[in-house]
Amino acid sequence: MTLITSKRHRGAHDAGPSGWFVAPALVFFVIFAVVPLVGVIALSLANWNGIGAITWAGFANWAKVLVDPVTGNALVVTAKIMVFSYIVQAPISILLGAFVAGKQRYRALLAVFYFIPLLLSSAAVAIAFKALLDPNFGLGAGLGIPALAQDWLGNPDLVLFVVIFVIAWQFVPFHTLIYQGAVRQIPASMYEAARLDGAGTIAQFFHITLPQLKYTIITSSTLMVVGSLTYFDLIFILTAGGPGYSTRLLPLHMYLTGFRSNDMGAAAALGVILVVIGLLLALMLQRLGGKDRSANQTEGA
């Protein structure tokens, strides 16, 4: 079999490295990711308060979770945050990426500051914004503009937009960095040709930069959309899901159900829903991206 596969074969047998090289990674992944994945399905069929005995519950958790209006609300909040934060983040990241890809000195200097949020933990970001958005001792009071001295985190009509803004503040830098790298890989000759044809900056952006970024846009979008299922810590500290249930997105709802209300069975059922959404999204984006991505990977190198 090995003889057939290697064409430039010069006498040595190469069966490829043994599967044992994969074993350590596989063991870790199976024990702490695959087993929990099965476990979350099993626990969704059980009663457990986190400490005591585990008993069979059948589909009681599912019946409870699926009719609970809080679950429906959590799904809506999750979808809103996913869609709005994508609409905000994607254009800003692309524009900033193209901006800092330029060679001007001042842009390089600005970029140094742009990337600072990359270093901060969600906990740090949430705590900083909580203080900054305080109506009495924060931004609004500092600038003396009453419109900015709102109870940003206590107003159910505003809080979702605040959360989306803070998410953008934290995650745009990473995507900017991805786009910066991608824009720099676009051959300069393409821009020269466009300039000779009289294309302005804006025309160059839409006819060269944007089409050339196609695959990067897919990668970045996948990370953004799937990533929005993980904005747990930021929102947990910033609003704890409140006021009321207005920012209680699915992962947070699951955590609070399991570890605050001690209903691990119901939390596991919510976990299953989360897994299914994650898989569906990834599958959908994969379809959207098409199968030519491997071809692009060598081209861009």
Partner 1 sequence: MTATQTRAEPRTAASAPTPRAASAGRSPEASRGVGRPNFLAGLGGWVWLAIIILPVYYVVITSLKKQSDYFSTNPLLPPTNPTFENYALVLENQFVRYLINSAVVTVGSVIPILLVSFMASYALVRGKGRFINGANTLFLLGLAIPIQATIVPIYFMISKAGLYDSLLALILPSIAFAIPLSVIILNTFMRNVPTELFESMRLDGCSHWQMLWRLALPLTKPALMTVGIYQGLQVWNGFLFPLVLTQSPDNRVLPLSLWAFQGEFTINIPAILASVILSTLPLLALYLVGRRQLLSGLTAGFGK
* Residue linked to tokens 């846009």: 217
CA distance readout (Å), 294 to 87, 128, 284: 27, 41, 18
φ and ψ of 16, to 5 deg: 80, 160
Pick out residues in 85-114 that bind partner 1 (CB under 8 A): 92, 95-96, 99, 101-104, 106-107, 110, 112-114
Closer to partner 1 by Cβ: residue 158 or 277: 277
- Closest distance to partner 1 from the beta carbon of 290 (Å): 16
289 neighbors 220 (Cβ within 8 angstroms): no
What 3-state DSSP class applies to 47?
Answer: strand
Pick out residues in 168-227 that bind partner 1 (CB under 8 A): 169, 173-174, 177-178, 180-183, 185-195, 197, 201, 204, 207-208, 212, 216, 219, 226
Q: Is 238 in the site for partner 1 (CB under 8 A)?
A: no
Q: Is 119 in the site for partner 1 (CB under 8 A)?
A: yes
Q: Is 3 in the site for partner 1 (CB under 8 A)?
A: no
CA distance readout (Å), 45 to 64, 257, 259: 12, 15, 17
Total residues binding partner 1 (CB under 8 A): 123
Q: How far apart are CA 57 and CA 282, in angstroms?
A: 31
Instruction: Calculate the CA 212 to chain-centre distance.
Output: 23
Closer to partner 1 by Cβ: residue 159 or 173: 173
- Closest distance to partner 1 from the beta carbon of 268 (Å): 5
- Closest distance to partner 1 from the beta carbon of 245 (Å): 18
- Closest distance to partner 1 from the beta carbon of 69 (Å): 22
Q: Is 31 in the site for partner 1 (CB under 8 A)?
A: yes
Q: Is 291 in the site for partner 1 (CB under 8 A)?
A: no
Which residues have a Cβ under 8 Å from the Cβ of 217 and sit 6 or more positions away? 90, 94
User: Which DSSP state fits 15?
Assistant: -
Q: Is 49 in the site for partner 1 (CB under 8 A)?
A: no
Q: Is 245 in the site for partner 1 (CB under 8 A)?
A: no
92 neighbors 242 (Cβ within 8 angstroms): no
